[in-house]
Amino acid sequence: MRLTGSQIVAEVLLDHSVDTVFGYPGGTALNIFDELYKYSDKIHHYLTAHEQGAAHAADGYARSTGKTGVVFATSGPGATNLVTGIATAFMDSIPLVAITANVPDNLIGRDAFQEISITGVTMPITKHNFFVNRIEDLEPALREAFQIANSGRKGPVLVDITKDVTADSIEYTSKAPYELRKNPQPDGEVVKKIAQLINEAERPVIYFGGGVAASDAGTELNRLIEKADIPATYTLMGAGVVGSDNPHSLGMLGMHGSISANRAVSQADLLVALGARFSDRVALNPAGFAKNAKRVQVDIDKSEIGKNVPVDEATICDVREFLHMLLPLIKEQKREAWAAQIQEWKESEKIVHYEGEGACQLHPDEIVLKACELTDKDTIYVTDVGQHQIWAAQYVKHEKTRRFITSGGLGTMGFGYGAAIGSQLGNPDKRVIHFTGDGSFHMNLNEACTAVSNNLPIITIIMNNSVLGMVYQWQTIFYGKRFSNTTPERKTDFVKLAEGFGAKGYRATTPEEFEDAMKKALQADGPVWIDCIISREERVLPMIPAGKNVEDMIID
């Protein structure tokens, strides 16, 4: 069948079972959007307020469903507005296909209206990108985009199509997606050695990250933890794989990780890193990280092995395939002394409320814990970036994979609302709670119009301390309280603003008011914002300063 380039875009999406896409139209994308109109019974395109919101929505959709996120934008500013969203997905290895239109090929390179070389711009933040200016290259480029985005370590791919190609036509036959590239296989000898190390270790710790979620290895990992009686700690990207009430869970590791996780890693005689990359927010001082331990790393990306911290044993493969090979070699045992030590550390953990001058009646942990208490285990928690993000990571009762959606690697303020919209559209039966701060929310709260238009019952919980809290905290501790540009004295009335958008807004200054607002929000059928007033002096604790060790941890 002879199809136009725009029809081919739609058909390739259908061949990849894509029924939900996000984006924003524009001049060069008119042909594509004309087809999206005709295909609207099969592919639902969700219009956002801004292309960045669309990119975050596609990302949130991918993170919460495990499918590939797809985002459309027009040339020039439409394409450049995607950049932060693509970079966010790149840093967290999220499969995303971004499709941009460009000016017609005869205008390329002439600084035409809304012309930008988006393939040049996105080169360092995509796994690969394609510039398509010939109709015969279009179908293979789109198919490869899906293949590359999902093979090995996942990530974003961009396909830029000139407008003339979207109108040109060529023969097309529907076919199955390209098979994913074969993963490297675990090295049997290394797996045996790792099994032996685990069996013989006295104080082993598992440290896992986003790779475990990406390879759906949660079941296998939990089996290993139980069988070998090993405590496990996770990065921000690994939250949810091991249930929060599992006694083996040490909580999060790193800069704002738990006391028990950081102490366990520093005292461990064996550290098994699974799908994690020893980032500078985990291995704050790479030379001192797990320095008493033999270190083992399993990752699908060869370039991650030993990148930040040298390791003693490593195998390059999918974590799930590794665990399948490892589990039969693991001796069932109990490590009572180690468990007792960890229990002692856990008991030393405490929640610190700010009670000094300017204290408020509502505290961050009360907000998060109450929100969890009032919602079920399938709830998806989405965050922006900053103090509220870490409070959410620390206090949310993580129960399942793909239920904690947060920008880890890039740390993108403004990620949350778009991602919450994508998560809600990908999971219409689940509750979506969006934790944000007044700083992050101001960046992309314009997406409220998207949530309202689509009647999405997302509950946005604003931890409002009237300052840019995380930077304010660093300025408090390390910069002599010189609050440079973190105390904006904004007068935004979030309740009125919510109403202005056609959403509902509540304000809470006490735990009782918050509970009341949450209960009302849970009954609403559209978006609700709850403006929670907290003190600007609340700190994210514990904290290990950048470049320091567990001994330097600030506890209260």
Which residues are catalytically annotated?
51, 113-114, 163, 470
Q: How far is the CB of 307 from other proteins (least distance, A)?
A: 6
Q: How far is the CB of 356 from other proteins (least distance, A)?
A: 43
Report d(CA 449, CA 527) in Å as an integer: 10
- Closest CB to other proteins among residues 33, 131: 131
Evaluate whether 206 touches 230 at the Cβ level (below 8 Å): yes
Report d(CA 550, CA 411) in Å as an integer: 23
* Chain positions contacting other proteins, by CB under 8 A: 119-120, 123-124, 127-128, 131, 148, 287, 301-303, 305-307
Helix (H) or strand (E) segment spanning residue 319: helix 319-326
- Closest CB to other proteins among residues 145, 544: 145
Report d(CA 203, CA 267) in Å as an integer: 8
Nearest CA among 408, 405, 348, 414 for reference residue 381: 405
Report d(CA 520, CA 259) in Å as an integer: 36
Give Cα separations from 306 to 254, 299, 469 (angstroms). 18, 10, 34
- Closest CB to other proteins among residues 132, 237: 132
Describe the crossing of helices 319-326 and 188-200 by its angle, rounded to 10 degrees.
60
Q: How far is the CB of 423 from other proteins (least distance, A)?
A: 29
Residue 500 token pair: 């202005």
- The residue with tokens 């209260």 is 556
- Closest CB to other proteins among residues 143, 307: 307
- Residue 429 burial by CB count (10 A; 0-12/13-18/19+): exposed, middle or buried? exposed
Q: How far is the CB of 315 from other proteins (least distance, A)?
A: 15
- Closest CB to other proteins among residues 105, 365: 105
HEC string of 77-135? HHHHCCHHHHHHHHHCCCCEEEEEEECCHHHCCCCCCCCCCHHHHCHHHCCEEEEECCH
Q: How far is the CB of 116 from other proteins (least distance, A)?
A: 15
With b for 16 or more beta-carbon neighbours within 10 A and e for fewer, the 535-546 pattern comes to bbbbbbbbbbee
Strands of the sheet containing 232-234, edge to edge, are 249-252, 232-234, 204-208, 270-274, 294-299, 313-316
- Closest CB to other proteins among residues 167, 305: 305
Report d(CA 489, CA 121) in Å as an integer: 35
Q: How far is the CB of 197 from other proteins (least distance, A)?
A: 23
Q: How far is the CB of 127 from other proteins (least distance, A)?
A: 7
Report d(CA 533, CA 147) in Å as an integer: 46
- Closest CB to other proteins among residues 301, 516: 301
